[in-house]
């Protein structure tokens, strides 16, 4: 049974070098996941793969069924989840194409189903979320990056916004004042749902663009796609090196 799962974000709807052994349609108490779960091997290691936005990248960030996705991965046997997230870089060092392994997150989303503990007669549960990412998995990612010669920024604070629109320049100024280094739309409630399920969860952020107001002109999808293509090459290398460590 695969213990390691990969959630692919924008730019990673499939995994190169993944030898697929099967696909599994999952039904959950929370509805349908974004896609069928893919089982396979990556470098002779069993993994699960789920594209967060669906196989055709058709599900917007605020409409993703995060609870179904996380529940399905847990039910399929995942004990560790590596989430790939496209993000915008706020500070100058967070340049397009680079990788970030965040250690903190600030949630600016609203109206999303963000807990498993809200229905029925179950007692109220308050999970500790001081450190939102699994440090053991974070360190494995950093070790793999060092072994693979992949440059990564070793920490940072991810600002999770609602989407699907990009942010205004003033909103980015606010996020920076709050301490955010990157901004994205899919980091929450994914991280806290994994914590509620007691699944070790960490993120690899791929900087797809400089955040609003941080460069001249508009942010275009062509620009984002170009930088994601560059960053995803390093993501694939990183995954191939970290999976054996786990």
Helix axes 221-242, 135-148, angle to 10 degrees: 90
Six-digit token pair at 115?
A: 């807990």
Which residues are CB-contacts of 102 (< 8 A; sequence separation ≥ 6)? 133, 155, 156, 157, 158, 181, 182, 187, 203, 205
Residues of each annotated binding site for phosphate: 10, 52-53, 186
Residue with token string 């989430």: 83
Type and span of the H or E element at 193: helix 190-196
Residues of each annotated binding site for substrate: 185, 209-211
Q: Which of 82, 238, 236 is nearest to 146 (CA)?
A: 238
Residues of each annotated binding site: 10, 52-53, 185-186, 209-211
CB neighbourhood size of 68 (10 A):
20
């Amino acid at each position: 049974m695969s213990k390691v799962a990969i959630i692919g974000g924008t730019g990673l709807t499939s995994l190169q070098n993944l030898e697929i052994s099967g696909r599994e349609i999952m039904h959950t108490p929370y509805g349908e996941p974004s896609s069928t779960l893919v089982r396979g091997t990556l470098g002779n290691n069993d993994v699960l793969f789920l594209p967060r936005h669906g196989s055709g990248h058709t599900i917007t960030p605020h409409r993703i069924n995060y609870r179904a996705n996380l529940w399905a991965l847990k039910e399929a046997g995942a004990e560790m989840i590596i989430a790939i997230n496209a993000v915008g870089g706020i500070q100058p060092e967070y340049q397009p194409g680079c990788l970030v392994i965040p250690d903190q997150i600030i949630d600016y989303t609203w109206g999303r189903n963000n807990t498993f503990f809200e229905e029925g007669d179950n007692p109220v549960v308050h999970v500790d979320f001081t450190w939102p990412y699994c440090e053991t998995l974070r360190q494995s990612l950093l070790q793999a990056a060092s072994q693979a010669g992949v440059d990564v920024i070793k920490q940072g604070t991810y600002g999770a916004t609602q989407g699907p629109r990009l942010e205004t320049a003033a909103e980015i100024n606010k996020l920076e004042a709050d301490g955010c280094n990157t901004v994205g739309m899919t980091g929450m409630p994914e991280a806290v749902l994994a914590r509620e399920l007691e699944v070790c969860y960490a993120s690899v952020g791929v900087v797809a663009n400089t955040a609003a107001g941080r460069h001249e002109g508009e942010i275009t999808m062509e620009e984002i796609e170009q930088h994601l293509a560059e960053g995803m090459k390093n993501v694939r290398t990183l995954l191939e090196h970290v999976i054996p460590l786990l």
